[in-house]
Amino acid sequence: MMLKRILFLFIFLGLTLPSWAASQKDTIYLGMSAAFTGPNAVLGIELYRGSFAYLEKINQEQKGLYGKKIKILTYDDKYEPELTLQNTFELVDEKKIIWLFDYVGTPTVNRILPYLSIDNQHGAFLFFL
């Protein structure tokens, strides 16, 4: 099952990223809202550490994606759905991030799904593995 998800992700990214990446300046940003403090902090911290390590490997060995470095903009939601929604507003509406990545938890993700699914007017995509 995990292999199918990873394969789907790479196919989807391969089809959509070239034109989007070309429109980015020097860096491609992924947005992340997760628990970095509070009782569930270990979830967000470890997920970030793993993702950061992998993206750093891509940035160093492959010179990023289409020649652009990949970075994660992180926001602490303390595993609180309302903070997750506020963070997502800032990432999508203010920072213009369209790739949301590594969100942690059912209650937090359930809170942002209606916002993201309203005719996808924001053009943002949320990825999980």
Q: Does domain 26-127 have CATH number 3.40.50.2300?
A: yes
Q: Is 74 helix (H, G, I), strand (E, B) or coil?
A: strand
- The amino acid sitting at 45 is I
Residue 33, pLDDT above cutoff 70 = yes
> What pLDDT is recorded for position 56?
95
User: CB neighbours of 118 closer than 8 A, spacing ≥ 6?
Assistant: none
> What pLDDT is recorded for position 7?
53
* Summary mean pLDDT of the chain: 84
At residue 24 the predicted structure's pLDDT band, cuts being 50, 70 and 90, is low
- Write down the pTM of the prediction: 0.77
Answer yes or no: are the C-beta atoms of 47 and 105 closer than 8 Å: no
Distance of CA 62 to the CA centre of its chain: 20
From CA 71, how far away is CA 63, in angstroms rounded? 12
The alpha carbon torsion through 90, 93, 97, 103 (nearest 10 deg) reads 50
**91, 87, 76, 68: which is closest to 20 by C-alpha?**
68
Map out the domains of the chain as residue ranges: 26-127
Which tens digit of pLDDT belongs to each residue from 1-13? 556 655 555 565 6
Residue 87, pLDDT above cutoff 90 = yes
At residue 104 the predicted structure's pLDDT band, cuts being 50, 70 and 90, is confident
